């Protein structure tokens, strides 16, 4: 079974949620009705030692911040603002107290940075390794919530920032090869990501976005989720995927192509969204100084995510299906 099949098993037996459950399983957050005008957003993410982080080289303060950041990214993806956090912490016998102090410092600094309060949690012993589960509750005006399921054929597909840095950074850290200036920058994307909270709020507030989600498993997989939820397909262009200078130079030195990192690399925590064509100017104005927003392709009524060679303009460029080529915990 892969990750999607496991989730649909639970989804199939989830039961009715009643009027208060506006959206259950399947988006970046569950959406609950708070009152007539506002919605609660709830998300949970887990980081496990030796699966999500290597305790030998992931500084504990950055890990504390990252545990909050990855959840805040899901709140941002729905257009919301984080309010409360709950930490479930599993520690092995003989854990290192100074490590824990630094982790807790990073976590509370991140809660302040993103505007939420740690309001509870749970502390348990594990057989082996550290396990961090964070639940974050956020809030969004009901008329600004942004789902994955509302993309329309003809929409342009946008991403924020650049793609593939975190995956390349993880590879360099794992190889003990992140010492160069470019390497340190890429490593930082993996160790200490920053969710696009301000940008997402402005995009949702501007109400120009049709569908939005965050990029945690690579654009090939995440866009596939967005398309399936929306009942659409998509075409993206290889030459439009934005890649950073450090990634290009690092790939060049390693004799590698940037494309697999940009297409399938996880943990960028950038925004992926769609909007009607013709809204480009207004969207770029909303982005303000948050900078780079790139159109990478368009939504259509076929099925699957197809990668076209080159950039738009060429007639019938070669295409290949890249649906779900990104990260899956259970793919062999």
Interface residues toward ligand ADP, by CB under 6 A: 7, 10, 25-28, 45, 74, 216
Strand 38-48's sheet: what is its strand order? Answer: 21-23, 30-33, 38-48, 131-141, 81-92, 117-126
Q: What are phi and psi of 15, to 5 degrees?
A: 80, 165
Q: Go through 193-213 and write b for each residue having 16 or more CB atoms within 10 A of its CB, e for each that does not.
A: bbbbbebbbbbbebebbbbbb
Please, what is the minimum distance in Å from the beta carbon of residue 10 to ligand ADP? 4
Query: Quick one: which segment of 27-35, 45-53, 131-139, 271-279 binds Mg ion (CB under 5 A)?
Result: 27-35
Which burial class, exposed, middle or buried, applies to 279 when counting CB atoms under 10 A from its CB (0-12, 13-18, 19+)?
middle
Report if residue 214 touches Mg ion, rule: CB under 5 A. Answer: yes
Nearer to Mg ion, 26 or 129 (CB): 26
Q: Which does 92 bind (CB under 5 to 8 A by kind): ligand ADP, Mg ion, none?
A: none
Q: How far apart are CA 294 and CA 312, in angstroms?
A: 13
Residues 57-76 that bind Mg ion (CB under 5 A): 74
Query: Quick one: which segment of 21-29, 34-42, 89-97, 170-178 binds Mg ion (CB under 5 A)?
Result: 21-29
Q: Which does 59 bind (CB under 5 to 8 A by kind): Mg ion, ligand ADP, none?
A: none
Task: Count other C-beta atoms under 10 Å from residue 136's C-beta.
Answer: 28
Query: Quick one: which segment of 6-14, 50-58, 210-218, 247-255 binds Mg ion (CB under 5 A)?
Result: 210-218
Query: Quick one: which segment of 28-36, 151-159, 189-197, 301-309 binds Mg ion (CB under 5 A)?
Result: 28-36
Nearer to ligand ADP, 10 or 125 (CB): 10
Given the structure tokens 């439009």, which residue do they identify? 240
Instruction: Kindly tell me which residue out of 22, 23, 27, 28 binds Mg ion, with binding defined by CB under 5 A.
Output: 28
Spatial CA neighbour of 271 closest among 223, 306, 322: 223
């Amino acid at each position: 079974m892969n990750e999607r099949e496991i989730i649909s098993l639970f989804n199939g037996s989830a039961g009715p949620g009643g009027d208060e459950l506006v959206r259950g399983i399947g988006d970046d957050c569950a959406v609950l009705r708070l009152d007539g005008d506002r919605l609660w957003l709830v998300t949970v993410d887990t980081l496990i030692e030796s699966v999500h982080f290597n305790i030998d080289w992931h500084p504990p303060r950055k890990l504390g911040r990252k545990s909050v950041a990855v959840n805040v990214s899901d709140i941002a993806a729905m257009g919301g603002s984080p309010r409360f956090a709950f930490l479930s912490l599993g520690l092995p016998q003989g854990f290192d107290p100074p490590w824990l102090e630094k982790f807790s410092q990073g976590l509370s600094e991140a809660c302040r940075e993103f505007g939420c309060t740690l309001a509870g949690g749970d502390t348990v012993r594990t057989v082996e390794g550290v396990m961090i589960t964070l639940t974050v509750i956020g809030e969004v005006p009901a008329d600004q919530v942004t789902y994955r399921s509302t993309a329309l054929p003809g929409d342009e597909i946008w991403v924020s920032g650049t793609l593939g840095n975190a995956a390349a950074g993880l590879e360099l850290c794992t190889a003990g090869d992140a010492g160069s200036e470019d390497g340190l920058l890429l490593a930082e994307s993996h160790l200490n990501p920053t969710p696009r909270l301000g940008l997402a709020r402005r995009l949702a507030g501007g109400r120009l976005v049709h569908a939005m989600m965050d990029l945690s498993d690579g654009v090939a997989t995440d866009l596939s989720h967005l398309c399936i939820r929306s009942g659409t397909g998509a075409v993206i262009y290889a030459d439009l995927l934005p890649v950073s200078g450090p990634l290009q130079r690092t790939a060049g030195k390693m004799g590698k192509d940037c494309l697999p990192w940009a297409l399938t690399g996880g943990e960028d925590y950038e925004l992926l969204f769609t909007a009607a064509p013709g809204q480009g100017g207004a969207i770029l104005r909303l982005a303000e100084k948050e900078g780079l927003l790139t159109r990478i392709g368009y939504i259509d009524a076929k099925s699957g995510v197809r990668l076209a060679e080159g950039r738009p303009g060429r007639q019938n460029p070669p295409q290949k299906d890249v649906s779900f080529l990104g990260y899956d915990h259970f793919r062999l």
